[in-house]
Amino acid sequence: MNPANLQLEGLVMAMATIDRLLVRKGLLAREEVDLALRQAEASMNSEDKSEELSPANRDAIAFPLRLLRLANSADPDDDLPGFTELAKQVGETKEPYNDQR
């Protein structure tokens, strides 16, 4: 595997852990985190360049946001699912883009 991919995997999981800590400490609500991540993905999809990207490239860009949303939706008092499990869930819950229907 490309070392950059491993670095990004570590970064995304660190962000998921920090998110859960912020929620557990009551500094942010899970709903606030989810809204911020949904807004980030919507912003990414509304950019002019997103129409130039293939669906696979759009999925690659959206993947970390979707993974963080899934990690955020898990019970903050339970253990955080591993990267592989979360990545699998991202693939299972992904919906097609409007131009793919």
pLDDT tens track of the chain, all 101 residues?
A: 677 788 999 999 999 999 999 999 999 999 999 999 999 998 887 766 667 888 888 888 899 999 999 999 988 788 999 999 999 999 998 876 655 55
Q: Rounded to an integer, what distance in angstroms lies between the CA atom of residue 5 and that of residue 11?
A: 10
Listed by start position, the domains of the chain span: 3-93
pTM summary value:
0.84
Q: What is the maximal distance between C-alpha atoms in the chain?
A: 41
- Residue 53, number of CB atoms within 10 A of its CB: 16
Instruction: Note the pLDDT of residue 97.
Output: 60
Report whether 8 contacts 64 (CB < 8 A). Answer: yes
Structure tokens at 21: 């800590």
Instruction: Note the pLDDT of residue 23.
Output: 92
Instruction: Note the pLDDT of residue 44.
Output: 82
